[in-house]
Amino acid sequence: MEYVNPLTGFRVDGRRPNEMRQLKAEVGVVARADGSALFEMGNTRVIAAVYGPREIQNKGQQVNNKEALVRCEYRMAEFSTGDRRRKPKGDRRSTEISLVIRQTMEASILTDLMPRSQIDIFVQVLQADGGTRSACINAATLALADAGIPMRDIVTSCSAGYLCSTPLLDLNYVEDSAGGPDVTVGILAKMDKVTLLQMDAKLPMDTFESVMGLAIEGCKAIATYIREVLLENTKRLEYQRG
Amino acid sequence: MRDLNLSLNQTQRVRLEAALHELQSLVPAAASAAAVTVADTIPVNQEDNILKYISLSQENTIKEDTISLFVCADGLVWCRGHGTSDQDGEVVATLCGVVERVNKLVYVRTLRARYKPEVGDIIVGRVIERRRTAVDELNMRSIFVENDVICVSTILALSVEVDNCFIFCFSDFKSVFAYVVVLTHADTLRVINHQAEVRGFQHDGSLHLQARSEKYGKVHASSATLPVTFNVQFPTSLDITGYATVPLYHYQSVPFYASNLAFMNCKNVLLQLERGQLLTVPPYLVKRKKQHFHHLAQYDVDLILGCNGFIWVGEHVLVGENVKTTEDQQKYEADNFTPLETRKHICRLANAIRVLSALGFTLTVELIIETAEASVSSNVEVNDMLGAEFYVQTAEREAKRRAALLRKKNGGR
């Protein structure tokens, strides 16, 4: 199947190879959470809720006395994919993604400012169309910023792949299930540091560099957008408050 | 609560947009430029060379967000406060909020974050757990009360049963002021401002409090019906010696200045409230003022704006009334229901608070009263106050009010 049209250069959904899907973010969607966000990358919609810093519920989980405990839970809604999912939470993929998101966010949160407390991040995928991992990380960043948890930097994430000899940015579900490599990169936007790097399938080294470079550019674009959204939100709250 | 789940029709939407737009235009440009998000560089430019060092460090071991000195590129010294960090020689924000500068201190004030307790705050709380005490979700430091008696016994002394105990504690050097707010199963709200001594710090950072015998009065855990004695410290203008070990039920006959402006400084306050509504608003909407307890005489209603965002609107209660035993209390309650008018006023005020917090306006007593009165004058039913029309009207009214205020301020100069 041709994922990139050789004549026009368009992908299956009409994008160019280095074009991202449309982004949309909304902050403060869950009323009871300390911070929450809804993030959309094309058809992938993800909602994140952050609770914290609050007292540690389970003393056994506390490893380090001097730092906050960051917990993350990723789940997909049963209706998020084409076929109704049977086990949205306990399966291996969800556990792995929860761990990945937790490690990514932990790299950015200034945990030593909040010792003996825990921060819970709950991410739920409402619509899955490829790139759910990235959307979850972006949503979690927004939610953490909304909750007022100090962070080193904005963490953004994007995926890129390599199909039909072209690096493609921001794969959707069709392209993702094509069997080609899928590189997911998460960076600290301003500090230019990589906190997450995952890939499945195989890639030769130089191609990998170009694909990863493309993904990092996508991350930076998302970071600009997220920054705008947060700034807008802060300004709005401030002028409404009076 | 964030949203009222309104469905606005087209004209209402347009009006709301217009009102919000007007509010936005009233804000001076410098203020909106001060908003900052995570990883934004905060500009520190030279203004004056006078360094004023504001110290936040305390003598106890509780970790605070420390202030540190930051030397910027041109050699000037700044103080970097909460919400900022040092990266590559630049001051970078770690939070989303508004940059505030006080002399040489630069910090970021967040908006929707969790409530950060400060000494001297009046807070209102709800009881959630009994034994362990002070499972305060707002304050990360948990407080361990010896024999979990302080809260429980006080209530028992008044013969009211208590299910839970919520102690909120912030420390100020050696002594700890616990603002104990208890909501019992009979829904009486009590605020006790009580000083306990810090006995030490547990290994996990919790504070060990104790009410000691000679100075503060001993607390009996064994028998549930014994009255509790503890010392309450009066402001220095009053003589405390006569009340050194006062059983709690005598406490209420102690002279008590209910509407004293020195309320917040007064370290012993026992206020028992009943019959009202407890509302939750985002904490940043409640500013710290001199007075948080308001008695609205025209409605006969008490309004307490807790700094943690919990607001109590209820029937007015006179302080220093007789203690009622349980049977008496039930009879009393059966005889004296709150009159309907008072209940309506309570509901109106509560709804006014809900609308204002959904719109994101700072809550002040005047604004709440004005909103409630506006609803009366425009003949809005109490339950319609949470509807779309009143929501939009309140936004418009607030826009006009702020514009008038700004005009007055600018014209007066």
pLDDT tens for residues B106-140?
888 888 877 665 555 566 654 443 333 333 322 32
Beta strand residue intervals within A96-163, DSSP E = 117-127, 155-163
ipTM above 0.85, yes or no: no
Average pLDDT of chain A, as a whole number: 89
pLDDT at residue B75 in the model: 54
Written as six digits, the tokens of A205 are: 């080294």
B144 contacts chain A (CB < 8 A): no
Q: Taking CA atoms, what residue in B is nearest to A32?
A: B1
A219 found inside a domain: yes
A68-123 pLDDT, tens digit per residue, is: 899 999 999 988 888 887 776 678 889 999 999 999 999 999 888 877 788 999 99
**Residue with structure tokens 């490829």?**
A130
Per-residue confidence at A210, pLDDT binned at 50, 70, 90?
very high
Distance from CA of B343 to the nearest CA of A (A): 27
**Who contacts A213 (Cβ-Cβ below 8 Å, separation ≥6)?**
none
Number of other residues whose CB lies within 10 A of the CB of residue B174: 9
Select from B99, B91, B94, B48 the least CA-distant residue to B70.
B91
> Residue A184: how many CA atoms within 13 Å on its side-chain side?
21
Q: Taking CA atoms, what residue in A is nearest to B406?
A: A242
A119-173 pLDDT, tens digit per residue, is: 999 999 999 998 999 999 999 999 999 998 888 889 999 999 999 889 999 999 9
A17-41 pLDDT, tens digit per residue, is: 999 999 999 998 988 888 999 999 9
Number of other residues whose CB lies within 10 A of the CB of residue B253: 12
**Who contacts B334 (Cβ-Cβ below 8 Å, separation ≥6)?**
none
CATH label of the domain that carries residue A39: 3.30.230.70
Yes or no, beta carbons of B361 and A237 under 8 Å apart: no
A88 found inside a domain: yes
Cα separation, A235 vs A233, in Å, equals 5
pLDDT at residue A25 in the model: 95
**How many domains does the structure of chain A reveal?**
1
Per-residue confidence at B360, pLDDT binned at 50, 70, 90?
confident
Written as six digits, the tokens of B52 are: 């004023």
Select from B229, B133, B119 the least CA-distant residue to B175.
B119
Yes or no, beta carbons of B38 and A151 under 8 Å apart: yes
Better-scored residue on pLDDT, A62 or B362: B362
* CA B129 remoteness from chain centre: 20
Q: How far is CA A110 from CA A115, A124, B98, B113, in A?
A: 10, 24, 19, 15
Q: Is the pLDDT of residue B262 over 50?
A: no
Per-residue confidence at A2, pLDDT binned at 50, 70, 90?
confident
Better-scored residue on pLDDT, B28 or A68: A68
Cα separation, A118 vs A59, in Å, equals 10
B178-195 pLDDT, tens digit per residue, is: 333 333 333 333 333 344
Say if residue A204 is preceded by a cis peptide, omega within 30 of 0: no
Cα separation, B209 vs B196, in Å, equals 6
The alpha-carbon radius of gyration of chain A (Å, integer) is 18
Residue B269 per-residue DSSP state: -
A200 by DSSP, 3-state: which? strand
**Who contacts B124 (Cβ-Cβ below 8 Å, separation ≥6)?**
B181, B189, B191, B278, B304, B306, B308, B310, B311, B312
Distance from CA of A72 to the nearest CA of B (A): 19
For residues B14-28, give the mean pLDDT: 81
B333-357 pLDDT, tens digit per residue, is: 556 677 788 888 888 888 889 889 8
pLDDT at residue B318 in the model: 56
A74 found inside a domain: yes
Q: Check the CA dihedral B167-B168-B171-B175 and report its sign.
A: negative
A192 found inside a domain: yes
Better-scored residue on pLDDT, B272 or B275: B275
Better-scored residue on pLDDT, B205 or A116: A116
For residues B58-68, give the mean pLDDT: 37
Q: Check the CA dihedral B274-B279-B282-B286 and report its sign.
A: negative
Element (H, E) at A183: strand A182-188
Residue to test with chain A: of B38, B42, B361, most A Cβ within 10 A: B38
To the nearest whole percent, how much of chain B has pLDDT over 70?
44
Q: Is the pLDDT of residue A186 over 70?
A: yes
Range of lowest pLDDT (A29-33, B93-97, B216-220): B216-220
Written as six digits, the tokens of B160 are: 């009211």
Yes or no, beta carbons of A237 and B111 under 8 Å apart: yes
Better-scored residue on pLDDT, B292 or A169: A169
Cα separation, A85 vs B100, in Å, equals 49
Domain range for residue A42?
Answer: 23-241
> How many residues does this entry show for chain B?
413
Yes or no, beta carbons of A55 and B96 under 8 Å apart: no
Better-scored residue on pLDDT, B310 or B361: B361
Cα separation, B251 vs A41, in Å, equals 62
pLDDT at residue A195 in the model: 93
Better-scored residue on pLDDT, B202 or B147: B202
Select from B278, B283, B331 the least CA-distant residue to B303.
B278
Which positions in chain B touch A148 (Cβ < 8 Å)? 95-97, 110-114
B124 by DSSP, 3-state: which? coil
Q: Residue B77 — φ and ψ, nearest 5°?
A: -100, 130
Yes or no, beta carbons of A154 and B94 under 8 Å apart: no
pTM: 0.74
Contact B80, B271 (CB under 8 A): no
B114 contacts chain A (CB < 8 A): yes
Yes or no, beta carbons of A230 and B96 under 8 Å apart: yes
Q: Is the pLDDT of residue B224 over 90?
A: no
Instruction: Measure CB to CB from residue B3 to each of A31, A147, A242 and give the nearest one.
Output: A31
Which residue segments constitute the domains of chain B, with CATH numbers given? 67-111 (2.40.50.100), 121-132+152-238+267-320+339-411 (no CATH)
Q: Which long-range contacts (CB under 8 A, 24 or more apart) does B80-89 make?
A: B80/B106, B80/B107, B81/B54, B81/B56, B81/B105, B81/B106, B81/B107, B81/B108, B82/B107, B82/B108, B83/A150, B83/B107, B83/B108, B83/B109, B83/B110, B84/B42, B84/B108, B85/A110, B85/A150, B85/A152, B87/A152, B87/A191
Q: Residue A12 — φ and ψ, nearest 5°?
A: -60, -35
A3 found inside a domain: no
Cα separation, B184 vs B165, in Å, equals 8
